[in-house]
A and B are shown apart, each in its own frame.
Chain A
Amino acid sequence: MTAPPRKLSLDEWDARYAQLASAGLPEPDYGGPLRRHVLLEGDLRLRRLRFDNSAAALRLWNFLLTENQRLHAARARGEKIIGTMKDLGTVPVMAYSLPGLRAFYPDGAWWTPCLMECSDGLLQQAEQLGIDASFCPVRAMLAAFQNGEHFPRPDALICSTGAVCDDFSAIAQRLEKMGFPIVWWEMPRRRPPDAGETTCALPGNLSAPQVQVDCVREELARLGQVLSGLAGQPLDTDTLARGIREANRVRRLLAALRRAVYTSPGAPLPALELLVAEMLALHFCSDREETIGVLTDLLAEAEARLRQSQFVAAKDAVRVFWVNPVADLRAMNLLEDWGGRVCGSDYMFTHALDLIPEDLPPLEALARTALADPMVGSTLDRARRIVADCRIGRAEAAVVSRIPGASHCAREGAIIRDVVRAELGIPTIELEVPPISDAMLPTLASRLQALLETAKARR
């Protein structure tokens, strides 16, 4: 079943799937050929993407693309569905600690217009609700709640607010006015400790005053009561500690996978698959145990390829650090097509990749991790981590990918770009990737190619 690594189109994957199936590929219950997602779910964008040819990648894609069906199935089994919003990686750790709860991020609907090439009509529906293109594509979430055609209506909605994007905060508020009650919890803007304040070390080499950690911890305790009520079982210290250990299993696997792929001479797995894999850290794609299986397979595939010096992006590809997730998944393919590879990333949730401390009381540990969110601190903090990670990945260039309409993108890109340039002296650009970037290809191509050429010329 093994084959030299390469990227396949959807058409090529049909033949590859037949080959794997005839060879007796064991598959999970959500397995099957990738094409069915186009035919049955309308995920038209898959026709434009190029996928890694491994069985591990097949499992990853099938896992990702069946999430809504799996959520509906969980609901049918009597499990409680928790919509967690905006905190990206914190509340799901609590929810998955309790039996019978399944947490997911409705925020993830922001990729639906891309995957369905806007045939879903979500962005148009959001516009009819007064949320137009001046808002970030996460506005698709609002329409997805309204039409109920994607994920099941959650039994509870929990949304972090405070130092979060205005787009999201405004859209979530609209959601509540549409009849979806929300439990709001405060995430203060992280600040450095003042003189005389007790300092708390946070994951990611960050720090915050204990008083802020205390506030977040109390808010999480309040959420714990909500979740306990839904589960019919208290979220006590031991239960949460077990949940944290399981979350850390996922994070350790991801850390190993990122290290293997980002720091190797060539890329053993494509950037697109790594982006999807990193996203699994947020809410385990609604199935924590299966996430562990998916990541274990991917890591094994990457390590096997490394042992054989097999790469999907050649050793001479320009090593690019990528900042912010792309609204159009195809952009990650294009970077590699044009001679680049991703050697590090900050997709706005580095705190969901860091290990949650296991030597602290669990709520305290989770509060510290939540406060390490790169989006709730200063842009300079974020830029510093990017610089450090660029060094680890030996980045030759950096891309700050703007999310159309996103309030944080108006300012942060310039700051990150300036700091990265000044600290590392590598070429850096900002570019905007819309949900469907086909019409922008000439612009994207010229900007990315110029960046890659500049980086190559500096070798």
Chain B
Amino acid sequence: MQVFHTSPWVPPEWIKAHGLEPRGVWLAQDFACEPLPLAAGVCAFANAAVRLAEQQSQSAVIFTTHCDQLRRGFDAVATPPTNLDAPESCRRFPLSPSDSPRCRAVAAGGERAGVRGPSSPAVSGPQCAPKGRGFLSRLFLFNLPVTWQTPVAERIFCDELRRLGQFLIGLGGHAPTTGDLVEIMAQYSEGRRRLLAVAPWCPARAYAEAVARFHLDGSVHLPPEAGDRTASGADSVPLAVVGGPLPQAQLPLLDAIEKAGGRVVLNATEAGERSLWSAPPLGQAQLDLARLARGWLANCVDVFQRPNTRLYDWLRERLTARKVRGIVLWHYVGCDLWRAEAQPMRAAFGLPVLLLDADEAMPQRNTGRLEAFLESLR
């Protein structure tokens, strides 16, 4: 079974080790490719995640709590239709006599399949109507802690991994063996290492696609090395693209930057280089979930963290090393977390920052702003 996840901080190794297929949404087929009707203030990325979840009949979707939009997007997709004709006790989660105990358990819990025990059998589609209990049983909300300096944050992350494991087992997966996990983690680590190694020279679009492909299926497809890229792009302005998710439908942004005379030397969007964490070392003897959680949490570098100093430390090192001359701060409309960072980034790095939003209705405006930004940097 495919398990889509909406954040790179949900360890795909953990999903894979349970015998299921992790699928980062950024390069998922048709994800965020069509303009969707949006209520005022709704983030288009979160909306696309909701749509993805609604369209899945056989796959599972993991939302994360790291932003209000995704957290409440989960609420929107997980709120079952009400039924005034049903008996009062069943009204919020309409049940029928043929519903399985699991359906009833989900209905009672109202949030996810994890309300059942790990040994329960899997729900099959025909048992539950679309957006009924079977649908709900394939949704999971992963509570990503926002703080990171306390034992409580580590415990929350650890607890979520445990819950996620139970959820995956409920979907038909199996408990991971230490051996499998060690092997899978080594594979992912090697993939990340290879991707990190090519970051300094790989063309922006190809790199973004390679990282997104890695998040999609764990594979690494690198373009052939094309000599000294710095020399070939000597006239272009080295830029960093920093910000939120950049799904495949938005990848033309990278082409537009290059066309306007820029050169993306750092992709620090959600599923870019920033998401390529180093796996924590894992002992062969025993699966120590707390240790794993500590290691994974230690690698999380994102804007939502409080304080978000790790993001700034991570950026500072790379912006300096790659001689970046400007930052494109990419965000979705309604994303307060990134939008608020424009001025602090200017102040922290002493670089010009261009705010660009994923406004599907006005791609031309973004092109014009990019051209003006790069012209001012030459």
Contacts and interface: CB of A to CB of B under 8 A. Distances in A.
A194 B42 contact: no
B71 A189 contact: yes
Given A170-B340, A407-B336, A215 B155 contact: yes
Nearest to B163: A194
B308 interface: yes
A417 B347 CA distance: 43
A170 B335 CA distance: 10
A196 B116 CA distance: 9
Contact of B152 (A164, A169, A219, A379): A219
B145 A186 contact: yes
A425 B114 CA distance: 32
B304 A169 contact: yes
Contacts, number: 169
Contacts of B304: 169
Interface string A159-199: 10111111101111110110000101110110111111000
Interface residues on A, range: 35 or more
B75 interface: yes
Interface stretch (A50-58, A128-136, A284-292, A326-334): A128-136
Contacts of A129: 343
A33 interface: no
A166 B337 contact: yes
A408 interface: yes
Interface string A70-85: 0000000000000000
A192 B336 contact: no
Nearest to A167: B336
Contacts of A380: 75, 78-79, 92, 110
Contact of A174 (B68, B109, B344): B344
Contact of A411 (B73, B145, B159, B343): B73
A188 B337 contact: no
Interface string B215-237: 00000000000000000000000
Contacts of B336: 134-135, 166-167, 169-170, 407
A134 B155 contact: no
Contacts of B341: 170
Contacts of A159: 306
Contacts of B159: 211
A145 B83 CA distance: 49
A410 B82 contact: no
Nearest to A375: B68
Interface of B: 39-43, 65, 67-69, 71-73, 75-76, 78-79, 82-84, 91-92, 105, 109-111, 114-117, 141, 143, 145-147, 150-153, 155-156, 159, 163, 166, 304, 306-308, 333-337, 339-344, 347
13 contacts: A169-B304, A169-B306, A173-B340, A186-B146, A186-B147, A186-B156, A188-B145, A195-B114, A195-B115, A195-B117, A211-B155, A406-B41, A407-B69
Interface of A: 129-131, 134-135, 159, 161-167, 169-174, 176-177, 182, 184-186, 188-189, 191-196, 211, 215, 218-219, 222, 378-380, 384, 405-412, 414-415, 418-419, 422-423, 425
